Structure 1
Amino acid sequence: MALFVMIIRKMVQNKWLVFSLLIGILMSVALVSSMPIYSEGILSRMLKKDLERWQEVSGQYPGAIYSTMSFTDKPERFNGMFERYDTFIKTEAAPSFQLPIQELVNDMSSTSLRMMRADDPEEITDRNSQAVTIKSFSGLEKHIKLKDGRMPSPAPVDGVYEVLVTERALVQFKTVLDTVFLIHSDKMPAPLKFKPVGVFEKLEDDDPYFRYGNLSDMSTSLILPFETGKQLLLGNQSLPITSAGWYLVMDYTKMEFRHVSAYLDTHEGMRQALLRNVSLYQMKVDAVAHDTIDYYLYRAANLNLLMWALNVPVLIMLAFYMFMVSNLIASRQKSEIAVLRSRGAARWQVIAAYFVEGLLLCGIALLIGPFLGGGLTRILGASNGFMEFVQRVNLPIRITEQSYLYGAIAAGACLIIILIPIILATRVSIVDHKQQMARLVKTPIWHKLFLDVIALGLAIYGLYTFKKRLEDLQSLGLSSTDLNIDPLQFIVPALFIMGGGLLLLRLYPWVLRLVYWIGRKWWPPSIYATLIQVGRSSSQYQFLMIFLIMTIATGVFSASAARTINLNSEDRIQYGNGADVVLNVNWINDAPPPPMVGGGPGGGGDTSSVPKRINYLEPPFEPFLNLPGVEHGAKVFTKEKAFYTFNKDTAEVTLMGIETDQFGMTTWFRDSLMDYPLNDYLNLMASETDAVLISRTLADQKNVKAGDTIWIGWEGVTQQPFRVFGIIDYFPTFNPMPATGIIKVGTNRSPMLIVGHLSRIQLQLAMEPYQVWLKLKPDATTADLYKGIEENKLAVNKITNTREDLVLAKNDPFLLALNGILTLGFVISLLVSFIGFLLYWVLSLRGRTLQNGILRAIGLSVGNLIAMLAVEQVLTSGVAVLLGIIVGNLASLLYVPNFQIVFNPSSLVPPFLVQIDPSDMVRIYWMVGIMLTIGIGILAYMLSRLRIHQALKLGED
């Protein structure tokens, strides 16, 4: 207990240092514990959105699972098989999904039976009978309404079983209600009588109770009340049963990522339970959204890997911070530690005392950190770019056991880091300590161990291997998932920043000596004294300078990485779509209707009457230009399988027809993709109607050059001559990269493009449907555009909305994580750097109180002292900021291109472009400048409060 009280008192005496250390530990634990919280939150939100989108596209309810068993075994086993699996579904499977159960439907179906009118005196034959199945569904009466007739009786009436039918079934059977039918089969003990007494329809159109969303599967069936059907099909087996099913409907809107494993395990458990009852060929478990949900485990693994990768620089920064603060604590208490050692205290006893202190701080951080990590997760979810935030629906935040596990690991690592300086300090005796105090110039440990050279070596190796991987991906036509990911690639930028900063700091003392030597005859006393102070004590500034270097460099690299990935994501979508909105329009034509299944009359369809060329009637274009919010519009014709001929060589190409003026004003294109702006090429071909532009792939693979005449056409269209006016590398929507899976890029492998005038193509080749490309005004909304299309009754069958695609891309969990973590990492780095900066200089000024007092006593004014401090800041903090800018920009140029692996580099169009936005840099410099200004202001205030007599009295003491 006495030891504990001593530790508490020691912590109180050094409260500011201890508090600063606690902040570093707390930030580390919060950052690491936020990883599983964020991963689960963002994947939960994206899973819900993906399931909603899947429902819109497929029309099926994503929360549905249907399992069925077919009965082909001995009838006496049917009841046992059904009851065992039914009990399993209701008592084990349904609760195991951990989701609200909306419906649990049992259905049973008979084999195909023969049905004839009961009053037909003839024997049952194919001529007077129809095929029918008897079905039964649990809870059906709650989800239907009668369109005609009444509900059936659960018991037979005068030996006749009453049933429900759909309106379509009534038409199919060519009958009316209350008609008695006789049903017979060789597998039935005796014929049974059935009578339709009611016609039903769905109570609600979007009711997920109905497996297929409609009643089409009941169009040739009679529907018995469930208990009656169960008795006939399973109980006394009066009807031959073919299958029984269990349709489970869960509320997928309540699904979170934590439910994914339970969902998949329960799905597999249902399969295994069925296999125990029936053979593999007699069972089926169909989860509508199984593949979508299963994919999220893969996404979670990749997202966690990405988050660790992006957090490495920040974690290294925090490790440096904690080591620095712990080193300051050890430095201030070295005398005390040396005295304890000289008086007989063992090293382990001294270390144990500091271990208990560190354990208290780490324990506090572990208790608070995960909750702070939840708050950091909210910031991550609101990020839209580097240092940019938008209003979004809050992520579902849930602090789990895994977040505490991550936090505990981080706290343990922090404890080890803060004990290292203490362990080193206990090795020093009182004599050694006095000797070290007299030696101000000493080599830092990282320079002794050449950690800068090792870090740079690993970083350069990582850069080389990553470049090699990118070359393989592009040359082999592989996707980014075809090769294993080397984890080293995710930490090489941080290693480069750290190694580069340490290497420059190795050279820093020599630069100081050079500056001192150059102006040694002209420096005023204040600058001379400052140069002597910094030059002789340069090792004391190393921690502070590496702090600032890593903060600035990390900020520059983070801003460049985020800006580059965001803009390249946007460029890829805009280039691939071509314009803000792309409309596919229905054209009136004389194309024959598609042949009927089975060929229709004439058996198989005679295609001799099909015309070789379909004639189209072009719809008016002006209504599209008058739609709300439209700024420009263009007609764009694309023929994927056109042919060209040159020097008796024929090949398949993509042909595009455009109106140059309107196309140039409508499309999106990055001008840096080609030697000249796109409009220059369009103006070049605008002068002649037979002018075309060809892709570089066509020119290189077929030896076509500007000025050559080529012949263009397509199937059923006679080729016509065109003249090549220019060669282009890229063009909106055109991907010149070879298809994925090609072993090596070679001749006749890459896609080829020809761009010509739409008017000449329509006049000399053929008039065929084109797309309508629209450029919207900046303040226009797509909702108004859609409303205008509907009001004008334009025959649009497909809309490609670039703005919606951009929003979808922005909400991708990987981009959200990247933007959020890079922003959060920079803010945390800035915060701990500010604390470290202020802490270091406050302690430094307190330690130099006697020196400053003497300088004041010999005649230096407060202004001179502040000027000395300013010069010292320029030589330390200012130089560190400059080095950080250099290292950060160099790291961006070398390592940001490696992020293109996220986009599948084998088909990346347009090419990946590193973006360094000046506004991002200005934002970083402003924040760092404010931090340094506040810090220097506080230090100047402390100097102005200095009293000479206090300093001299301190010297006497």
Structure 2
Amino acid sequence: MALLSMIVRKMTQNKWLELSLLIGLVITVGLVSSIPTYTEAILSRMLVKELEASKLSSYPGTMNMRFTYIGVNNAEQRIKQMKTNEQFMQNKVLPLIPVDLLERTSDLTTSAFDLSSELPPPPNEKKKVYRTSLATVKDLEQHIKLVDGRMPADKPVDGVYEVLVTEKGLNNLHTVLDSVFVFEDVNKTKVRVKPVGIMTKKDDDDLFFLSPDLGGFTNSLVMNSDVLDREFIQTQRLLVNSNSWHIVPKYEDLELRNIDRYLQAAEVLKAQVKSNYHYTLEAQYVEVIERYFKSSENLRVLMWSLNVPVLAMLGLYVFMVSNLITNRQKNEIAVLRSRGAARWQIMLSYLVEYTLLGAVAVAAGPPLGLFLTKVLGSSNGFMSFVKRSGIRVHLNSEVYVYAAAAAVIALIVMLVPVIFATKTTIVGHKQQMARMQQTPFWHKLFLDVIALAVSLYGLRVFHERMKTLQTLGLDNEALHIDPLQFAVPALFILGGGMLLLRVYPYFLRLIYWIGRRWWPPSMYATLIQVGRSSAGYQFLMVFLMMTIATGMFSASAARTINHNSEDRIRYASGADVVLQANWPNDKPPEMPGGGPQQQAAVTLTKPVIHYSEPPFEPYTKLAGVESTAKVLIHDNASYSTEEGSGSAKLIGIDSDEFGQTAWFRDGLLDYSFYDYLNLMAAAPNAVLISKTLADEEQLKAGDTIWVGWEGIDMQPFMVYAVVDYFPTFNPNPRDAETPAPKLIVGSRLQIQTYLSLEPYQVWLKLKPGASVNDLYRDIEDKNLGIVDITDMKSKLSTAKSDPFLMAVNGTLTLGFIISLVISFAGFLLYWTLILRGRMLQNGIMRAMGLSLRQLIGMLTVEQLLTSGAAIVIGLVTGLTTSRLFVPLFQNAFDAKKLVPPFRVMVDPIDSIRIYIFVGSTILIGLAILGYMLSRLKIHQAIKLGED
């Protein structure tokens, strides 16, 4: 109890430092706990998106189970098995489904029997016999409506059982309602039935039914479930042929934390199917979820990796504050050691102190992480938030496990300065105070060189990996995403910053030497103070450098990923809107069916199709259109050269209109994109070819290439230039076995004149701020015959809500904000403590005649030489790190889709934000320090020194 009382008093005496340390701990624990929370929320959203995007034949998440009683001839055994199946679904399957069910359908079908009309057939005609069965579905009445007739009675009427039929089923029976039919049951007893109503679905999109058009009831007579069970099943007059269950869960509520139970339900059903061939199972969603798990692992690794620099920065902050606390108490520690206190006793006191702070952080951190996750769920880009439905987040045991682990690691980090401090005796402590000019331990151990070497090695490994991916056409799942490939930027930032700080003392000496004849006394005093105490400033400088560089790296990474994702969509689309009009033609109608011989004959005599070009002017006058272009695209054109022949993608353009309409990123080609278009405009027979085609056929500018396609004679064109990229053209191979795609770009008029007139696409460029909806309405109002339309803006909007981009933007935005906040807190804390520690020195300078203005000037220069230098180093290191390591994020994308190539982006807005923040931080710091100096009483400072 005495130890706890002493710890509380000590914490009270250093309340501001303890509060700063607690804030750092809470933010650290909150960030760590937000990672699994945010990851789970994003992955849950990703799961729902995957299910929605999957082209399944049924509603996403639907499972259908059917049992067919084949080989079970005994009626009692069938009834017993039916009850067993019902219990199996009720007790083992349905309890495993973790979400509400939109529908749960159970149906039953009897064995087929021969049905015939009760009335005798007309003369000279045979009696018609129809093969059908009785069927029933629980709660069917709530989901159907009658087209004609009435609902069946719940008991026989005059010995006749009433049933429902579909309109198609009634037509198959060649009868009308209220016609009586007969069939024989198992006991050869005649049973009379009559259709009394024609049913159809009440709602077209009702999930109650398996088939959209009630096709499952076409060959069945639908009877009331109670009547069928009471009159035919339990009395064993008819055998049960099959019964099935149709389960439709509310897939939007599926989350990562409950998906295992949903998969377990499918596994239980699969095991039942394997154990008995009478069972069949349809659960297409299982394959979707399995694919989802593969991509979710990559996203999980990426989420943790993105936070490595921020976590390292927070660890550095915690270490810095705990080091400040320890340094202020080194004299007390040395006194305790000199009076016989053991090291473990001193360590125990700090362990208890920091454990108390850690416990508070574990309690407050997860709710903070939950709040951060909710805020980040509305991210629409880097440092951009919109009003959208929030993501679902939860606090669970896993979150608190991560929070506790973060607190334990932080506790170890905080105890490191204490370990070193307890080694020092009171004599050693006084010696250290007298020798302020010490070499930092990271310079002695060359940790900066080691960190740089490891990070550069990781960069080399990355480049080799990306070369393999792009050469072989592999995807990002072919090679495992190594978390170290995302952790090495933090090592590079730390190593690069410490390396620059290694030469920092020489920079101070250079400044001193340059102005030694002109510096005023205050400047001399500042240079001497900074030069002799450089070791004391270097930790602050490392911290500031790390935070600024991390913020710069986070901003650059987010901007790069967002811009490159948008560039890929723009490049693949080609223009804002791409239309394909319906061209009148003389194409013969396709013949239904036909065997191989018939198809071969058709192929041999395939005629040339003649097209009529529709008017083009209406497209130029559509709402919001700035420019239009005709673009002819033939995906499988043929070419021939002196070296060989093959197939390539042929694009025909009008160079002037195409240049005004198409989107193309600068810097992809050796010269301006418009220079290549001007080359084509000068000669009608000029073509541009892709580098893949030029390399394979050894072509160069000036060579002749013959171009055509099936049924069209080849015509000569002249190669004017070789290009690596062109709008919509992807030069990357699809896989290792497929050759790289090839491209030929020529004049559309030349191609249509000398080859053939074929339908072209209409590319539209919209005016700034133009609405795509207005364009669609105008197309509809003008009744333009459009067979296909793609919209770039819709694709961009969809991409922004993509779970992957949301995760990246949210995480990097959080890292950027935390970097700025922590650097501000660390800056003010450090300088406030330094100023308090030098009250005697400042009081003496004031007593010697220095004015308050001169003293503030000295502090300003001191800040510029320390904090300012650290900030400049941080900006340089962050920019260098971004240029070198932001391309690491290519590993998170499919190499085949990295067109145009990855380009590092540094948005000036982010740099301006950092500059404004840094300037504001220094100004606020100077204002606080100036206020503290203005309240300094000279006699109190000198008396404090005497005490």
User: Normalised by the size of structure 2, how large is the TM-score?
Assistant: 0.95
- Which runs of structure 2 are paired with 1:272-287 in the superposition (5 Å)? 272-276=271-275, 279=276, 281-287=277-283
Deviation at 1:141, TM superposition (A): 0.8
2:553 aligned with 1:563, yes or no?
no
Question: Which deviations, in whole Å up to 9, do the C-alpha atoms of 1:55-76 show, x marking residues without a partner?
Answer: xx65732242211122213233
The alignment status of 1:75 with 2:69, answered yes or no, reads no
Equivalent position of 1:42 in the other structure: 42
How far off its partner does 1:126 sit? Answer: 10
Q: What per-residue deviation string (whole Å, max 9, x for no partner) do you get for residues 438-457 of structure 1? A: 11112222223322122112
**Alignment partner for residue 772 of structure 1, among 759, 762, 778?**
762
> SS of the residue aligned with 1:619?
coil
Structure 1 pair 118–421 and aligned structure 2 pair: CA distance change class (3 A): same
Distance in 2 of aligned mates of 1:665 and 1:727: 21
Residues 88-125 of structure 1: per-residue CA shift (max 9 Å, x gap): 32234223212112322111234554433233469999
Aligned twin of 2:942 = 952
Q: How does 1:353-368 map to 2 (within 5 A)?
A: 353-368=349-364
Pick the aligned partner of 2:922 from 906, 915, 932: 932
Distance (whole Å) between structure 2 residues aligned to residue 259 and residue 29 of structure 1: 25
Q: Determine the structure 2 residue equivalent to 1:139.
A: 139
Of 340, 343, 346, the match for 2:342? 346
Task: Identify which of 468, 481, 485 aligns with 2:481.
Answer: 485
The 10-residue stretch of structure 1 (935-944 or 841-850) with the greater mean CA deviation from structure 2: 935-944
Mapped partners of 2:545, 2:80: distance in 1: 74
Is structure 2 residue 712 aligned with structure 1 residue 722?
no
Shift of 1:132: 2.8
CA shift, 1:688, in A, is 3.2
Q: Which amino acid aligns with 1:874?
A: L
In the other structure, the counterpart of 2:535 is: 539
Aligned-partner SS, 1:491: helix
What is the aligned counterpart of 2:392 among 390, 396, 402? 396
Per mean C-alpha deviation after superposition, the further-off stretch among 248-257 and 924-933 is 248-257
C-alpha spacing 1:648/1:300, structure 2 compared with 1 (3 Å): closer
Q: What secondary structure, in the 3-state scheme, does the structure 2 residue paired with 1:617 have?
A: coil
Comparing 789-798 and 455-464, the one that deviates more? 789-798
Query: Is contact 2:462-2:888 (8 Å) kept?
Result: yes
**2:163 is the alignment partner of 1:163:** yes
Match in the other structure for 1:896: 886
State the distance in 2 between where 1:354 and 1:413 align.
15
Matched, 1:692 2:694: no
Alignment of 1:51-62 (within 5 A): 51-54=51-54, 60-62=58-60
Report the Cα offset of residue 288 of structure 1: 4.4
- Residue 64 of structure 2 is matched in structure 1 by 66
State the distance in 2 between where 1:133 and 1:45 align.
44
- Give the direction of change, closer, same or farther, for the CA distance of 1:914–1:613 in structure 2 (3 Å limit): same
Q: Secondary structure at the match of 2:712?
A: coil
Partner residue, 1:3: 3
Q: Which residue of 2 aligns with 1:211?
A: 210
Residue type at the aligned position of 2:257: R
Aligned counterpart, 2:807: 817
Cα distance in 2 between the residues matched to 1:608 and 1:554: 64
Q: Mark the runs of 5 or more structure 2 residues left unpaired by the alignment.
A: none
How has the CA–CA distance of structure 1 residues 675 and 375 changed in structure 2, closer, same or farther, with 3 Å as cutoff? same
Which residue in 2 is equivalent to 1:746?
none
Q: Is 1:474–2:446 an aligned residue pair?
A: no
Whole-angstrom distance in 2 between the partners of 1:431 and 1:608: 100
Contact 1:60 1:213 in 2 (8 A): no
Q: In the alignment, which residue of structure 1 is the partner of 2:401?
A: 405
Residue number in structure 2 paired with 1:551: 547
Q: Which residue of 2 aligns with 1:32?
A: 32
Amino acid at match of 2:713: T
Aligned partner letter, 1:761: I
Question: 5+ unaligned residues in a row in structure 1: which ranges?
Answer: 744-748
Distance 2:322 2:412 in 1: 11
Aligned to 1:387: 383
2:820 aligns with one of 826, 830, 836: 830
Aligned positions of 1:242-281 closer than 5 A = 242-276=241-275, 279=276, 281=277
- Match of residue 649 from structure 1: 644
1:458 aligned to which of 451, 454, 460:
454
**Hey, what does 1:196 align to over in structure 2?**
195
Aligned to 1:181: 181
Structure 2 distance, partners of 1:713, 1:605, is 23
In 1, Cα distance between equivalents of 2:594 and 2:150: 39
SS of the aligned residue for 1:671 comes to coil
Q: Is the 8 A contact 2:481 2:891 kept in 1?
A: no
Give the equivalent residue in structure 1 for 2:307: 311
Report SS of the residue matched to 1:258: coil
1:719 Cα deviation after fit? 1.9
The one-letter code of the counterpart of 2:857 is A
Residue matched to 1:905: 895
Q: Compared with structure 1, are the counterparts of its residues 916 and 605 closer, same or farther at alpha carbon in structure 2 (3 Å cutoff)?
A: closer
Q: Give the aligned residue type for 1:338.
A: A
Is the contact between residue 302 and residue 483 of structure 2 (CA under 8 Å) also seen in structure 1?
Answer: no
Preserved CA contact (<8 Å) 1:110 1:233? no
Distance 2:459 2:659 in 1: 39
Does residue 750 (structure 1) correspond to residue 749 (structure 2)? The answer is: no
Q: Quick check: 1:163–1:224 contact (8 Å CA) kept in 2?
A: yes
Distance 2:497 2:864 in 1: 17
Contact 2:624/2:775 (<8 A) preserved: yes
d(CA) in 2 for partners of 1:651, 1:408: 63
Deviations 1:581-621 (A, max 9, x none): 11233222232333334679x99998489751222232222
Cα-to-partner distance string for 1:439-478 (whole Å, 9 max, x where unaligned) = 1112222223322122112111211111111111122221
Conserved in 2, the CA contact under 8 Å of 1:548 and 1:884? yes
SS in 2 for 1:588: coil
8 A contact 1:116–1:124 mirrored in 2: no
Question: SS where residue 86 of structure 1 aligns?
Answer: helix
Query: Taking structure 1 as reference, are residues 598 and 178 closer, same or farther at Cα in structure 2, changes over 3 Å only?
Result: farther
Q: Counterpart of 1:13?
A: 13
Change (3 A) 1:673 1:647: same
The yes-or-no answer on 1:806 pairing with 2:796 is yes
Q: CA deviation at 1:869?
A: 0.8
* Match in the other structure for 2:607: 612
SS at match of 1:774: strand
Task: Measure the CA separation in 2 of the matches of 1:832 and 1:107.
Answer: 63
Is 1:942 aligned with 2:929?
Answer: no
Q: Give the conservation status (yes or no) of the 8 Å contact 1:39–1:300.
A: no
Distance in 1 between residues matched to 2:618 and 2:783, nearest whole Å: 10
**Does the C-alpha gap of structure 1 residues 123 and 156 become closer, same or farther in structure 2, counting only changes over 3 Å?**
farther
Q: Give the distance between the partners of 1:72 and 1:124, measured in 2 at CA.
A: 39
Deviates more, 1:477-486 or 1:40-49: 40-49
**Structure-2 change in CA distance of 1:168 and 1:530 (3 Å):** same
8 Å CA contact 2:552, 2:816 repeated in 1: no
Partner residue of 2:330 out of 331, 334, 339: 334
Alpha-carbon spacing, 1:231–1:637, altered in 2? closer, same or farther (3 Å): farther
**Higher mean C-alpha deviation, range 19-28 or range 938-947:** 938-947
Letter in 1 for 2:355: L
In the alignment, is the contact (CA less than 8 A) between 1:26 and 1:369 conserved in 2?
Answer: yes
Q: Secondary structure at the match of 1:443?
A: coil
How far apart in 2 are the matches of 1:850 and 1:125?
124
Say yes or no: does 1:920 pair with 2:915.
Answer: no
Amino acid at match of 1:652: S
From the superposition, tell whether residues 830 and 609 of structure 1 become closer, same or farther in structure 2 (CA, over 3 Å).
closer
1:851 aligns with 2:849: no
Q: Per-residue displacement from partner, 1:545-580 (whole Å, max 9, x unpaired)? A: 001111121122222211111111111111111111
* Amino acid aligned to 2:920: I
Measure the CA separation in 1 of the matches of 2:770 and 2:187.
Answer: 69
Q: Which amino acid aligns with 1:243?
A: S
2:731 to 736, 759, 766: 736
Change beyond 3 A, Cα 1:125–1:425 = farther
Q: Which amino acid aligns with 1:835?
A: A
The residue identity in structure 1 corresponding to 2:81 is: M
